[in-house]
Structure 1
Amino acid sequence: MNVNLLILQFIGHLLGDYIFQTDASAKEKNENGFKSKFIFKHTLITFISSLVLSFDFNFTLCSLGIAASHLIIDGLKHKLNKGRFSFFIDQTLHIVMIVLFVWMFELYFKENPLLKITNTKLLLIITGYLICLKPANIFIREVLVVAKIESISDTTTELKNAGKVIGILERILVLTFVIIGKLEIIGFMIAAKSILRYKDTNTIKTEYVLIGTMLSFGIAMLAGLLIERF
């Protein structure tokens, strides 16, 4: 299988399902399925992202297949996946379909790319940084939902969305330090964040933040270590 094409399609999925989709439209789509006013726009974005990042007009039918499967999965999500694991089931199905259509393209179509990208590590680095943005925030939130850990964020004393921005920044820094081989700096970052929370007497809140921090650092470090294996 063309690994680079597969990574490019995964990047397209990250862009279409996270970067180019707002939380409000995602929520409305998940609640209304095929009746959603956003679902067909989202499907079009999925198709465009897939085709553009294939750099190959011969991939058009496969991009249509990926978009169509995305439409069906998202349209049925509110009926089929109502439990705590719905996010993970949904994303697994999307990824399986991407793998399937890339595999079919390799079997039944001839590659004729307008731009042939051969640097796998560069693609993985781009993927890693994209994951560290909005996708990681949503993943952490859904892990906490699965673990039945309720949010205890107090919006009266904390800046709105500040935790999300801090999480994104720390993941970008951690991923960068792993890639350049400066793992010792990550230890200083964890220590610095611990000091900031040291005087917080709210034990439940401190534990909640700790869980989120460990997940956040873990995602970035795992992404960096996987990239470094190539």
Structure 2
Amino acid sequence: MDLKELLLLQFIAHLCLDYFFQTNKLAKQKNTIGFKSSFLYWHGLACFALAWIFSLQLGFALAAAIIAITHFLTDGFKLNLIKSKYFGRYAFFIDQAIHLIFLTIVVVLFDKWHGISPSIGVPINFKYLLVITGYLVCLKPANIFIREVFKVTQIQVSSDNEMPNAGKVIGVLERILTLTFIIVLQYSAVGFLIAAKSILRYGNNETLKTEYVLIGTMLSFGIAVIAGIIINFF
């Protein structure tokens, strides 16, 4: 294992922590009452555990503790950021950027001062880790990212005739298919997928709703395409 693989493992741990191991309800509670949230403290402990486990080395305990503490403090003070007149709408992006910056700094300094020496002799393949990361990003994180982009740009359209969460499921499926097609270099299949969705979803006279769906679709496909390009690059 080298630095880039440890960084990627820690990023996967972060994805699991912030997107798959907490519900929207618990995340909202954390963002609403900050340090008064009991879940925030469990979240901090889970951050330490995941960072340590995904490092695959016992000597990473102190680094994992630092990552957990900075994650805990960032989430705790996020309430103040949300209430900010100028930065409130960007709270999600600022919060995630701070988490990733601290995570990167800690891992780089750990490599410099301690060195990377896995306690478990498990072969790590960087490209396989990238593929796993790409698919993880295309699931719940991408849905939340797109939702926050709409929130920042203040785009909102009522959708009384739509099934609850249907858009999320469609988005996940299209990103998984798009990423798979790009990894296996079947770019024409991506074009067919976009064309098929265009025919099915945009054949109506509701201009505002059509534009809303189009923006979401382009963001969704964009995430999968960028993930696929990065994976193929390495």
Shorter-chain TM-score category? Answer: over 0.9
Distance 2:98 2:144 in 1: 17
- Secondary structure class of the residue paired with 1:38: helix
CA RMSD of aligned residues (A): 1.2
Q: 1:153 aligns with which of 159, 166, 169?
A: 159
- Secondary structure class of the residue paired with 2:38: coil
- Secondary structure class of the residue paired with 1:84: helix
Distance 1:70 1:7 in 2: 17
1:109 aligns with 2:110: no
Query: Which stretch has the larger CA shift, 171-180 or 141-150?
Result: 141-150
Structure 1 residues 89-104: aligned runs within 5 Å = 89-104=94-109
Aligned to 1:181: 185
CA drift at 1:17: 0.4
- Secondary structure class of the residue paired with 1:112: coil
Q: 1:119 aligns with which of 106, 125, 129?
A: 125
Q: TM-score, normalised by structure 2?
A: 0.94
Distance 2:51 2:111 in 1: 15
Distance 1:117 1:3 in 2: 14
| Residues 44 and 71, structure 2, Cα contact 8 Å, conserved in 1 | yes
Distance 1:170 1:117 in 2: 31
1:20 aligns with 2:21: yes
Identity of aligned residues (%): 53
Q: What is the letter of the counterpart of residue 91 of structure 1?
A: Q
1:50/1:25 CA distance change after superposition, 3 Å: same
Distance 2:170 2:202 in 1: 17
What is the count of residue pairs matched by the alignment? 228
| Residues 81 and 89, structure 1, Cα contact 8 Å, conserved in 2 | no
Aligned to 2:80: 79
Unpaired segments ≥5 residues, structure 1: none
Structure 1 residues 162-177: aligned runs within 5 Å = 162-177=166-181
CA drift at 1:80: 2.7
1:198/1:77 CA distance change after superposition, 3 Å: closer
CA drift at 1:185: 0.5
Aligned to 2:53: 52
Q: TM-score, normalised by structure 1?
A: 0.95
Q: What is the letter of the counterpart of residue 29 of structure 1?
A: K
Query: Which stretch has the larger CA shift, 145-154 or 131-140?
Result: 145-154
- Secondary structure class of the residue paired with 1:152: coil
- Secondary structure class of the residue paired with 2:214: helix
| Residues 19 and 134, structure 1, Cα contact 8 Å, conserved in 2 | yes
Unpaired segments ≥5 residues, structure 2: none
Cα-to-partner distance string for 1:58-77 (whole Å, 9 max, x where unaligned) = 00111111111000000000
Distance 1:99 1:48 in 2: 17
Distance 1:34 1:69 in 2: 13
Distance 1:10 1:161 in 2: 27
Aligned to 1:229: 233
Q: What is the letter of the counterpart of residue 206 of structure 1?
A: T
Cα-to-partner distance string for 1:61-109 (whole Å, 9 max, x where unaligned) = 1111111100000000001343111111000000001001101211222
